[in-house]
Structure 1
Amino acid sequence: MGQQYSHPQPGKKLQVIGAGLPRTGTTSFGRALEILLDGPVYHGGTQVTLGPEVEIKSWIKVLSCYPPKSEAEHRQNLELIRQRTDGFSAITDSPGCSMVAELMTLYPDAKVVCTTRDVDSWVKSMAVVASASTKWFLRIVLLPVPSMRHFNDYIEGLREQWINIYGEAEPATAQIYQRHYNWLKDNVPADRLVMLDVKDGWEPLCRALELPIPEGIEFPRINDSKAIEEFSKQQIMRGLKRWCLILSTLGAVGFALLRR
């Protein structure tokens, strides 16, 4: 979150499925993959909030049919996910990290790399994110802001998905964390699954992807918490400014009509 929107590049194919939960270094991981794979990375949090409305609307539609109740819904979800990820070298963060099965179907040759973190610090970090994204006034404040006007529906879709998969959503718990990693170990072939702590730098990631360590380039260390806080403030200010413009315009029109 807080990084720039990434545009797809024709001909690029997904090589890495980022299966790590949010707040496990997914932004740093995504930047590292951009360097290694020389292509755009689909960081879910960034794409849905900074991209055109088709991004967030597509994922809301996928989440509204999760889990799919018919073969038709399953095919629809696969097609929507393919549309969003086509032209990217990798995907990280939500909602992709909880749709690993679908992504493995679409990209059977892609590695599944799961970023990890100390579970207690993850729980605390997720509590901060939840506080920033579930404020009661956001739906009203963000209504005039493109893409972000759908943010509450997107968050609710993610919440329902987590309940379906993990049996609970918020507050994030150690049980959710463990259930996610247990699912990966039970459902992803061992030769396709890589567990990675971004604190370990280039060596384990490059070894897993069979790529050389970039010379003279430090492993990215992005402060995602600060970026999320700044992003949240920026979007609220965007919404308030647009409401001021809307209300002042309506006021001017109303005043003009009264003077007739």
Structure 2
Amino acid sequence: MGQQASVAQPGTKFQVIGAGLPRTGTASFSEALRILLNGPVYHGGTQATKAPEAEIRSWIKILSHYPAKSPSDNQIIQDNLRHRLDGYAAVTDMPAAGLITELLELYPDALVIVTVRDPDAWVKSMETVANASTLWFLRFVLFPISGMRYFPDYINVLRNQWVHNYGEKEPISAKSHFNHLDYCKRNVPPERLLFYNVKDGWEPLCKALGKPVPDIPFPRINDGEAIDRIAKEMITKGLVRWLGIFVTLGAVTVPYLYFRP
């Protein structure tokens, strides 16, 4: 999860489907793609939590029709994906990582790059995501925040997507990790599929993209710290909004009760 939401640049050619699961270095990977492709990258986790309300509502609509059960469902998914990703050079993280066939239908020339890491380490790190996204009080706390009031609904449709694709609810195990790798292998031609560990740095990524190696260090962004920071930021923001609401209500109702006949 990155620092801030990306902004689309009209006319940007879409080139890469980042199909790595959350907590596989997707934030570092997104920044690396931004540098190599010289265009904005759509990181799902960041856009859902930091971008305008239309972003998260669009993904809820997409996932509410997934998996497509009719041609009209598929059309809704395709139309919303096209609108959401127009002006971006790549997309990474969920929900896009679980929509590979749909994205390949939309971008048949795109390269699919799957960020990977040690399965056991991945399972441990996913506990951070689960803990931050399933707090029981989120719906109430986040309600005063535009966009984030839809976050619980977003998590619900994400969970449904995950169960459909990988057959597993929380607590997540290595089963989801391996099922996702199989999902990628089944749906992507081998010549357009790359499994990539961000620990390997620029070399394999640049080779796959046909780009020279930049003369700068490979970006290193801690996804876990970013998730914790954003969760605390949003909860604090929501509580402050509620405090303001209660103070305003108090300022209106107390004088009325005191001075009423």
Same fold, judged at TM 0.5 (above): yes
SS in 2 for 1:34: helix
1:24 is displaced (CA, Å) by 0.3
Where does residue 226 of structure 1 map in the other structure? Answer: 225
Q: Which runs of 4+ in 1 moved over 6 A?
A: none
Structure 1 residues 20 and 126, CA gap change in structure 2 (3 angstroms) = same
Q: How does 1:177-256 map to 2 (within 5 A)?
A: 177-215=177-215, 217-256=216-255
Residues 1:16 and 1:2: Cα distance change in structure 2 (over 3 Å): closer
Cα distance in 2 between the residues matched to 1:47 and 1:74: 23
Judge conservation of contact 1:21–1:115 (CA < 8 Å) in 2: yes
Distance, in Å, in 2 between the alignment partners of 1:2 and 1:36 is: 17
**Can you list the C-alpha shifts for 1:159-182, whole angstroms capped at 9, x where unaligned?**
011111111121111111101101
Give CA deviations for 1:74-112 in whole Å, capped at 9, x if unaligned: 101110011110000000000000001111111111100
Q: What SS does the aligned partner of 1:191 have?
A: helix
Cα distance in 2 between the residues matched to 1:73 and 1:142: 30
| Unaligned runs of at least 5 residues, structure 2 | none
Distance 1:131 1:166 in 2: 20
Is 1:2–1:231's contact at 8 Å kept on the other side of the alignment?
no
Distance 2:36 2:144 in 1: 38
Aligned residues: 259
Distance 2:187 2:236 in 1: 43
Q: Look up the equivalent residue of 1:220 and give its one-letter code.
A: P
The equivalent residue for 2:97 is 97
Q: What do the CA deviations read for 1:17-54 (whole angstroms, capped 9, x no partner)? A: 00000000000000000000000000000001101110
2:65/2:76 contact within 8 Å kept: no
What does residue 123 of structure 2 align with?
A: 123
TM-score by length of 2: 0.97
- Give the distance between the partners of 2:176 and 2:169, measured in 1 at CA: 8
Structure 1 letter corresponding to 2:56: I
CA–CA separation in structure 2 for the residues paired with 1:144 and 1:2:
23
Structure-1 separation of matches of 2:210 and 2:235: 43
Cα distance in 1 for partners of 2:238, 2:32 equals 33
TM-aligned CA deviation for residue 2 of structure 1: 4.4
Paired letter, 1:255: V
Q: C-alpha distance in 1, partners of 2:223/2:179?
A: 24
Conservation of the 8 A alpha-carbon contact between 2:26 and 2:115: yes
Q: Which blocks of at least 5 consecutive residues in structure 1 are unaligned?
A: none
Q: CA deviation at 1:132?
A: 1.2
Which residue of 1 is the match for residue 80 of structure 2? 80
Contact 1:166 1:180 in 2 (8 A): yes
Shift of 1:257: 2.5
* SS of 1:7 mapped into structure 2: coil
Give the secondary structure class of the aligned counterpart of 1:113: strand
Cα distance between partner residues in 2 of 1:153 and 1:249? 28
- Residues 38-71 of structure 1 deviation map (CA, whole Å, 9 limit, x = unaligned): 0000000000110111000000011111111210
- 1:256 Cα deviation (Å)? 3.1
TM-score by structure 1 length?
A: 0.98
Tell me the amino acid that sits aligned with residue 226 of structure 2.
A
Aligned amino acid, residue 76 of structure 1: I
Which amino acid in structure 1 is aligned with residue 218 of structure 2? F
Deviations 1:198-242 (A, max 9, x none): 000000000011111012x11001111111111111111100000
Give the partner amino acid of 2:239.
L
